[in-house]
């Protein structure tokens, strides 16, 4: 057995002044006799305060600052201010929650009990205590960490005349409750005078504020108002629209309180911390004598039950209440999904005629004698302290069997007629067809046309008015022959050789079909859409035969469909065979067969329609020459050749020069046709191996001086070296002698 304290644990560490610790409280009174003054009553007041004791927050006030106000019309006159000593305090007793394991909490309560004479003046008296602050993690009110609470009671003139005592609550409220489990807590009060009590959710009252120090700390906006401020008091501000005083925990449906019994019921479905206030109005002979208000804090937490009863079900009716269907079964199998430390299982069903059927198996198979509704239950740990149960509504119906027929012409590409043949004890109301290709239908007996041939798993699921379901799947072979054979192109006139792609647009057809093509030239093929080359001039009829996988045939012939016309044969030669930049003129000779017109294209630089033209390219390099010829049938042929115009290079070096500045043979350099030479270099050495000149400019020569700027070199023989690359990338390298004559 597990126990929990009933108030919520908040672990927040502040100093005593700042601590957010208040989680509930109330003020009540008891008439104890005549007062010491004439025409007065003596009352015993009890202030109860709850605090969070789990996080080291502020302790209870040693002296509670009590204020008593007399209400004169709309005015409130302070007649007493006093610090009432703490009478007693202690931890809230643990309350048993059988078989549940909620979070552990620690809460303390304090009582301040004091007596006070009140003179019967025809007015009401308000006895109040205020303190800040609340736990700041509260879910349902705004800014909870910055506001406190007011615990107050009004002693009405009617109550004083009647010498009445206020009601007192029986039990400490269970602030910790388990999420998704029912609440059934008795929050009723007793009244020693036997007066009528009416219960309701009401608003908590604000009191105090977040001023922590200075004179303001004891004011109405301070942590400890001294004295408690005068009525009327502000109502706590709920977070709208989810929460309000009458639905402090939100939800749909809301948690409710019985106005006559004070019992709070419902099922919370949202985790959180909620401030809840319960007001109890005391009536005597229809006249209101007093209202007591107790506020407290619910913590909706996840609890772990020791034992959970659960079954496999079809639908949920309510909390722990399930619906099951048994369609066409007399022996019904039940699947137990209960968890925890379970010692026994008990199943019980009662028919509408009163017959009781039981089982003690975990997963029983129970025979039900007839169709109908059986109300039952499944209990785990029956007779033990930790037990749980579920309520079961079992509906036993007659058999439902899905079935259908279909009809279509197997060899004609037409629609399939599907007809529902299902049977059920109840009327079938829903049909779901799946044609096996992603398409569906909701009709009872649909007509469907497939786009592509194939073998399709057609499924039907039916549902009757009792929600019983049945399904079946049938393999449908839909492989008819095409109704028409359609081939593109529909006609063809072309030149030999004629390469024609026959695009088979017939439907339905795919690779599983057998094709027999006859091209009229002795050639055949078997693919769906072939390509065929006609190599002879003529007119051809095309034959096509299509055979489906189940033997359906469709055949046709397209007479005189292909006409292949004669074509010329383009050819030419040219001379000379080797063409250089020294001789760039080329003579072209037509060698075509059956040509009547000629079209020459010289590398897109020039064109001509001469039969045997001549042409001179301006630049060396490779050039594309094309000849297109036309047959008298209009057919065309074309041939192209690459003509290479080779750049010619000549380069000669002299063997002597006379640099005497007579403008005759003064410079030593090479001569010739040098256009296109690259990477040129010339170096000259004297007889002792000294380099006296070099250049990379083919147009620049040696003037007989060192580096062309020093003293004149003496007559004699000098060695030269020349390197260059011709326009086709061939390297040349040679040496020789230069004789300098002066």
| Helix (H), strand (E), coil (C) string for 93-105 | CCEECCCEECCCC
For residue 508, cis peptide bond before it (omega within 30 degrees of 0): yes
Q: What is the average pLDDT value for the chain, to the nearest integer?
A: 89
The DSSP letter of residue 496 is S
Tell me whether residue 148 is exposed, middle or buried, using C-beta atoms within 10 angstroms of its C-beta: 0 to 12, 13 to 18, 19 or more: buried
pLDDT confidence of residue 21: 77
Kindly report, residue by residue over 395-410, the tens digit of the pLDDT: 899 888 999 999 999 9
**Overall CATH class of domain 306-397:** mainly beta
What fold, for 400-478? Immunoglobulin-like (2.60.40)
Kindly report, residue by residue over 316-359, the tens digit of the pLDDT: 998 889 999 898 877 899 999 999 899 999 999 998 788 899 99
User: What is the distance of C-alpha 517 from the center of its chain?
Assistant: 53
CATH 2.20.25.90 describes domain 487-564: no
Section 206-231 average pLDDT: 91
CA-based nearest residue to 564, from 523, 609, 516, 517: 523
For residue 272, cis peptide bond before it (omega within 30 degrees of 0): no
Question: Which pair of structure tokens corresponds to residue 336?
Answer: 């137990």
Kindly report, residue by residue over 65-91, the tens digit of the pLDDT: 999 999 999 999 999 999 999 999 988
Rg (CA), the chain: 56
Kindly report, residue by residue over 541-583, the tens digit of the pLDDT: 999 999 999 999 999 999 999 999 999 999 999 999 888 888 8
Q: How far apart are CA 503 and CA 483, in angstroms?
A: 17
What fold, for 656-740? Immunoglobulin-like (2.60.40)
- Write down how long the chain is: 742
pLDDT confidence of residue 11: 26
- Residue, of 398 and 12, whose pLDDT is higher: 398
Block residue for tokens 């106005």: 259
Q: What percent of the chain has pLDDT over 70?
A: 95
Kindly report, residue by residue over 472-482, the tens digit of the pLDDT: 999 999 999 99
Q: What is the 3-state secondary structure (H, E, C) of 93-139?
A: CCEECCCEECCCCCEEEEEEEEEEEEECCCCEEEEEEEECCECCCCC
Kindly report, residue by residue over 475-533, the tens digit of the pLDDT: 999 999 998 999 988 778 888 889 999 999 999 999 999 999 999 999 999 999 999 99
Query: Which stretches of 127-241 are DSSP H helices?
Result: 157-161
Please report the beta strands in 466-581, taking only residues with DSSP state E, as ranges in sequence order. Answer: 469-478, 487-488, 492-495, 498-501, 503-504, 514-518, 524-525, 531-534, 538-547, 553-565, 572-575, 579-580
CA-based nearest residue to 475, from 454, 445, 461: 454
What fold, for 572-646? Immunoglobulin-like (2.60.40)
Sequence ranges of the chain with CATH classification 2.60.40.10: 306-397, 400-478, 487-564, 572-646
pLDDT confidence of residue 436: 96
pLDDT confidence of residue 8: 28
pLDDT confidence of residue 16: 35
Query: Which residues are registered as beta bridge partners of 116?
Result: 43
Q: How far apart are CA 516 and CA 504, in angstroms?
A: 12
Question: Which pair of structure tokens corresponds to residue 612?
Answer: 């045997």
Question: Which pair of structure tokens corresponds to residue 353?
Answer: 């005629």
Section 148-163 average pLDDT: 95
Kindly report, residue by residue over 238-294, the tens digit of the pLDDT: 999 999 999 999 888 889 999 999 999 998 888 888 999 999 999 999 999 999 999
Q: Is the pLDDT of residue 47 over 60?
A: yes
């Amino acid at each position: 057995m597990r126990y929990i304290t009933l108030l919520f644990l908040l672990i927040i560490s502040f100093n005593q002044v700042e601590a957010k610790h208040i989680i509930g409280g109330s003020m009540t009174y008891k008439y104890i006799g005549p007062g010491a003054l004439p025409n007065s009553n003596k009352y015993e007041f009890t202030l109860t305060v709850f605090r969070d004791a789990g996080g080291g927050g502020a302790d209870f006030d040693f002296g509670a600052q009590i204020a008593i106000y007399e209400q004169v019309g709309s005015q409130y006159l302070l007649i007493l201010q006093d610090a009432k000593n703490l009478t007693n305090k202690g931890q809230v007793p643990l309350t048993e929650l059988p078989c549940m394991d909620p979070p552990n909490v620690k809460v303390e309560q304090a009582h301040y009990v004091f007596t006070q004479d009140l003179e019967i003046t025809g007015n009401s008296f308000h006895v109040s205590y205020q303190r800040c602050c609340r736990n700041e993690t509260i879910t349902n009110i705004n800014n909870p960490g910055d506001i406190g609470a007011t615990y107050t009671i009004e002693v009405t003139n009617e109550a004083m005349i009647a010498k009445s005592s206020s009601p007192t609550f029986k039990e400490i409220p269970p602030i910790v409750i388990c999420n998704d489990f029912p609440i059934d807590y008795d929050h009723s009060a007793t009244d020693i005078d036997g007066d009528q009590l009416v219960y309701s959710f009401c608003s908590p009252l604000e009191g105090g504020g977040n001023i922590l120090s200075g004179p303001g700390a004891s004011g109405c906006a301070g942590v400890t108002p001294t004295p408690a401020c005068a009525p009327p008091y502000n109502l706590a501000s709920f977070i709208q629209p989810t929460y309000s005083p009458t639905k402090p925990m939100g939800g749909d449906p809301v948690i409710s309180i019985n106005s006559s019994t004070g019992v709070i019921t419902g099922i919370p479905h949202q985790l959180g911390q909620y401030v809840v206030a319960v007001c109890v109005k005391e009536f005597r002979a229809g006249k209101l004598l007093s209202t007591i208000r107790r506020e407290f804090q619910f913590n909706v937490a996840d609890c772990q039950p020791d034992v959970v009863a659960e079954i496999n079900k079809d639908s949920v009716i309510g909390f722990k209440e399930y619906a099951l269907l048994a369609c066409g079964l007399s022996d019904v199998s039940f699947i137990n999904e209960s968890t925890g430390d379970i010692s026994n299982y008990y199943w019980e069903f009662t028919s509408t005629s009163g017959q009781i059927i039981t089982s003690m198996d975990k997963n029983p198979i129970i025979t039900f004698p007839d169709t109908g509704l059986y109300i039952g239950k499944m209990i785990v740990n029956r007779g033990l302290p930790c037990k749980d149960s579920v309520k079961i509504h079992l509906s036993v119906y007659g058999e439902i069997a899905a079935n259908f027929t279909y009809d279509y012409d197997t060899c004609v590409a037409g629609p399939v007629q599907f007809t529902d043949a299902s049977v059920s004890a109840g009327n079938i109301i829903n049909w779901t067809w799946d044609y096996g290709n992603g398409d569906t239908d909701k009709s009872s007996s649909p007509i469907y046309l497939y786009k592509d041939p194939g073998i399709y798993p057609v499924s039907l699921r039916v549902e009757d008015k009792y929600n019983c379901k049945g399904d079946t799947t049938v393999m449908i072979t839909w492989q008819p022959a095409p109704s028409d054979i359609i081939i593109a192109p529909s006609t063809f006139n072309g030149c030999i050789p004629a390469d024609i792609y026959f695009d088979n647009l017939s439907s339905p057809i795919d690779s599983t079909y057998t094709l027999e093509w006859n091209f009229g030239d002795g050639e055949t093929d078997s693919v769906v859409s072939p390509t065929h080359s006609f190599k002879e001039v003529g007119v051809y009829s095309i034959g096509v035969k299509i055979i489906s996988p189940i033997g359906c045939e469709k055949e046709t012939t397209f007479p005189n469909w292909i006409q292949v016309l004669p074509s010329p044969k383009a050819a030419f030669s040219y001379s000379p065979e080797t063409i250089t930049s020294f001789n760039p003129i080329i003579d072209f000779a037509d060698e075509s067969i059956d040509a009547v017109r000629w079209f020459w294209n010289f590398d897109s630089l020039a064109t001509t329609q001469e039969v045997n033209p001549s042409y001179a390219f301006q630049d060396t390099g490779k050039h594309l020459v094309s000849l297109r010829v036309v047959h008298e049938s209009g057919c065309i042929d074309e041939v192209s050749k690459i003509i290479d115009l080779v750049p010619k290079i000549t380069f000669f070096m002299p063997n002597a020069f006379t640099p005497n500045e007579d403008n005759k043979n003064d410079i030593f350099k090479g001569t010739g046709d040098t256009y296109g030479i690259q990477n040129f270099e010339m170096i000259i050495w004297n007889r002792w191996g000294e380099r006296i000149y070099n250049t990379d400019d083919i147009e620049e020569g040696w003037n007989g001086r060192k580096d062309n700027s020093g003293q004149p070199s003496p007559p004699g023989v000098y060695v030269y070296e020349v390197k260059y690359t011709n326009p086709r990338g061939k390297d040349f390298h040679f040496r020789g002698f230069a004789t300098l004559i002066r």
